[in-house]
Amino acid sequence: MSELKYKGVDVAIVSNTINYLDGDVLLEGFFAFDDSIQGQRPAVLINHAWAGRDDFVAEKAKQIAKLGYLAFAVDMYGKGVLGANKEENAQLMQPFMENRQLISQRAKAALNTVKLMPWVDDKQIAAMGFCFGGLCVLDLARNGVDLKGVISFHGLLGAPQQLTNNVIKAKVLALHGHDDPMVPIEQVQAFQKEMTQAGADWQFHTFGHTMHAFTNPVANDPDFGTVYQIEADQRSWRLLVSFLSEIFTQ
């Protein structure tokens, strides 16, 4: 567990890991919350990028906890499973891209775990994700899961082929880099059409001069298409904070 200090002020952010299961697959989530807040509070699930549940999403969980929510960094791959390079990351992600129902099944296991946590208002839950994680939370929405909202940061946008036109209950916020080579304009247009036809309450924000992985400070591979962009990172976070405040007050 840990307690954090921000700008000289003690903040009672408690964090820890928790084991949970999807069938016989052992998973390890990371959660954080402000222990000074009394009673139950909304929860935000955080889905990792293609490398696995790493320090990046753990730090995001602590930032979300500072906002007064319980944050839960989801594990999609299995306890202790992390890719060490692009090739390993791709191998870890590929089974989920080939079987999109596995994404929702694995994500629902995390959702069910969070609903049982004593600090959580189980009627006030949202999900956010980065890159592959953005696709994961969008697929939760596509499958009609009853969430208050989903937020995709530079997420993959393509719909699963087996989509059955479920009603999208969650509000949708997609945050996208205009120069992201992994999400061509045709995919953007198809996604916006999909959301409209599904009757979703959706927003799509595009940041100019911005590539993939724009929220990750260590992303610096323009040939691959992943570059940190501080303005887009900060602007997208402010949009997230506003969106969470909106959906959790309704």
Cα-trace Rg, the chain: 17
Cβ-proximal residues to 172 (8 Å cutoff; 6+ apart), any chain: 138, 141, 149, 150, 152, 195, 200, 201, 202, 203
CA 170 to CA 59: how far, in whole Å? 25
Helix (H, G, I), strand (E, B) or coil at 73: strand
Q: To the nearest 10°, the Cα dihedral for 174, 178, 179, 180?
A: 10
| pLDDT attached to residue 11 | 65
Alpha-carbon 217 to chain mean position: 17
User: In terms of C-beta density within 10 A (0-12 exposed, 13-18 middle, 19 or more buried), how is residue 70 classed?
Assistant: buried
The residue range of the domain holding 224 is 4-247
Cβ-proximal residues to 177 (8 Å cutoff; 6+ apart), any chain: 154, 206, 207, 210, 211, 212, 214, 229, 232
Q: What's the length of the chain?
A: 250
Report the candidate in 103, 95, 78, 65 with the shortest Cα–Cα distance to residue 27: 78
The count of domains in the chain is: 1
Per-residue pLDDT of the chain (250 residues; tens, 9 = 90+): 344 444 434 468 999 999 999 999 999 999 999 999 999 999 999 999 999 999 999 999 999 999 999 999 999 999 999 999 999 999 999 999 999 999 999 999 999 999 999 999 999 999 999 999 999 999 999 999 999 999 999 999 999 987 766 789 999 999 999 999 999 999 999 999 999 999 999 999 999 999 999 999 999 999 999 999 999 999 999 999 999 999 998 6
CATH assignment at residue 204: 3.40.50.1820
Taking the complete model, does pTM exceed 0.85, yes or no? yes
For residue 45 the two structure tokens come to 């699930």
**Cα–Cα distances in Å, from 83 out to 55, 90, 93, 143, 236?**
13, 8, 10, 28, 26
Cβ-proximal residues to 120 (8 Å cutoff; 6+ apart), any chain: 40, 41, 42, 43, 70, 114
